[in-house]
Amino acid sequence: MSDVIVVGSGPGGANAAAALIERGCRVRMIDYGNQDTHYAPLIPELPFRELRRGDPHQHRYLLGDRYEGIPLGPVRVGAQLTPPRMYVLASARENIPVDAPGMSLSMSLGRGGLGAAWSAGIFPFTADELRDTGLAMEELQPYYAEVYDRVGVCGAQDDLAPFFPSAPSMMPPLELDAGTGRIAARYARRRHLLNRRGFFLGRARLAVCTRPFRGRGPCDYSDMEYWADFRRAVYRAQWTVDELEAKPGFTYLPRLLVERFRETEEGVAVEVRQADGGGRETLQARALVLAAGTLSTARLVLRSLACPGRAVPMLCNAYTYVPMLNTGMLWRPWRDRRSSLAQLTALLKLPEGRLVQSQVFSYRSLLTFKLMKELPLGLRDSRLLLQHLIPSLAILGIHHEDRPSPAKTCILLPADPDRLEVSYEPAAAEVLRQRADEKRLLSCFLRLGCLPLKTIRPGHGASIHYAGTFPMTPEDRPLTCDTDGRLRGTRRVYLADGSFFPWLPPKGLTFNIMAHASRVGALLAGRLR
């Protein structure tokens, strides 16, 4: 019997396992473990433009062998899921189905989970944002530091520092490309005025190595982040799993799907089904860490604790894209050396105390034809215009906070097999407030010379920040978790994915999930000792 079974290899699972292994525990990680072995070997390690001009096989990985990289419908969620990244979502619909009318849900059975296609944004919570969890910043801060040291983070101490707790081990930020450099320069000139309006701009803090780090990086500015993991410069949870596989005490068990768990005298028994062949077996451990992803964890918990028909909360940051014309770039030269990830982060602090967070990307390596269909012009004219316009395009991704409400729920419907159903209907007032907040944010970007062209709302679930099903709270309530991450109603089952957030600040979750998972692993290791 191992000490701990960790379910899932995403950012939560990988970091919980790492914390446990670093503290001397024996860990088995159960994972479905899809990987891309098809496209990755085809991609030459070249900068994007060079590859485009030279590689006769580029159509295979740019469009996919079954043309799965050509989106023929309206704007969809996960535009960054290029054919080499599509394995991240593969076989999820069949194996872990969710009914979610009106929502676009993305779930993963890939090695590294949804984190394998993560855009690498690092947004630690502030003490105020943690308050509802019952955790003090001092309790989580050491684990933020632990994750910084594990994943490698670049960024700058700039105007965003008050909103993101500092990190002593941060690497220098990525170089800005020409377009976002113009925006940053304008901000520097109008900073005081914009700060008075609650608008703050700074360099994106990213899980990217800008210097060599644990055998990874540095970033080569080849603009290939959406297609390949050259030098492993961008952190992926699977890098941690790879490192763990070389350590004693860690066993990775792929091609398994967890069906349920039950607590026993000695610990926890986990029933699993083999992905190939469908055989079943039971694995035992002294404790269980669930990090299968919020929705998969919800299914497992509700099924295992026999709570069918019982609704639990469901959270997901509302997300809006806004392509903007960066007028400062219209006649200025640009350069190829760039990265595809977020370049800048902007925060709007509203007088009511709310925050709206956004990230500025520039568009280049996701291919021009995908933008052509979004223009209200003939495709030939769109092509010609975009050839001149793309260097002046900035894509703003806006995140809003989310709080639980009776119309945002997740429920396991009793049937054979049981079905997970998600309902997510924000109140009309909430939607109106989000639109008003977006307007205020865009008016600040207008002062930076960025003209909004179109507002695209890809629908509920588009941020892929699913969370809040078993919220962390100091109150002793069923189907919640305590401040150690232990699921109430169990003695040895811990949650290490997005399930624990009682509300969602308008920030990417992944880094906070990793810090929480590290803390869960560390506390559990102490308890097992």
Partner 1 sequence: MNGFYPLPSEEEGILYARYLVGRVPPSGVLQRWAEARILLFDSPPDAADAALLSFVSRHAWSLGPLEAACAWLRPQSEMRRRLLVMAALLEAAPEGADDFLPRQTDLLTVPKLALLGLAAGVRTLAGFLLWPLVGRERS
**Chain residues in the site for partner 1 (CB under 8 A):** 49, 52-56, 58-59, 62-63, 66-67, 69-70, 72-74, 329-334, 364, 367-369, 372-373, 375-392
Q: Are 323 and 454 in contact (CB under 8 A)?
A: yes
CA atoms within 13 A on the CB side of 267: 20
- Mutual angle of helices 137-151 and 11-22, in 10-degree steps: 90
Q: How far is the CB of 332 from partner 1 (least distance, A)?
A: 6
Three-state secondary-structure class, residue 258: strand
Residue located via tokens 């003939």: 378
Q: How far is the CB of 57 from partner 1 (least distance, A)?
A: 10
519, 34, 92: which is closest to 299 by C-alpha?
Answer: 92
Residue located via tokens 């632990």: 146
Measured CA distances, 320 to 363, 425, 451, 475, 505 (Å) = 16, 16, 16, 34, 15
Closer of 23 and 383 to partner 1 (Cβ)? 383
DSSP H/E element including 183: helix 178-196
Closer of 314 and 386 to partner 1 (Cβ)? 386
Q: How far is the CB of 70 from partner 1 (least distance, A)?
A: 5
Closer of 439 and 454 to partner 1 (Cβ)? 454
| Paired residues of 398 in beta bridges | 320, 358
224, 214, 208: which is closest to 175 by C-alpha?
Answer: 208
Residue 321 phi, psi dihedral angles, 5° rounding: -105, 140
Q: Are 424 and 407 in contact (CB under 8 A)?
A: yes
- C-alpha 21/C-alpha 18 separation (Å) is 5
Q: Are 3 and 287 in contact (CB under 8 A)?
A: yes
Torsion of CA 64, 397, 134, 403, to 10 degrees: -100
- First-to-last alpha carbon distance for the chain, in angstroms, is 15
Closer of 368 and 473 to partner 1 (Cβ)? 368
Q: How far is the CB of 211 from partner 1 (least distance, A)?
A: 29
- C-alpha 527/C-alpha 302 separation (Å) is 25
Name, in order, each residue with C-beta under 8 angstroms of 461's C-beta and a sequence gap of 6 or more.
77, 100, 103, 104, 105, 106, 316, 424
Bin 24: left if φ > 0, else alpha if -120 < ψ < 50, else beta: left
Closer of 145 and 385 to partner 1 (Cβ)? 385
Measured CA distances, 368 to 258, 380, 506 (Å) = 41, 12, 30
Q: How far is the CB of 183 from partner 1 (least distance, A)?
A: 15
Position 316: which residue type? C
Q: How far is the CB of 204 from partner 1 (least distance, A)?
A: 22
Closer of 10 and 69 to partner 1 (Cβ)? 69
Q: How far is the CB of 165 from partner 1 (least distance, A)?
A: 38
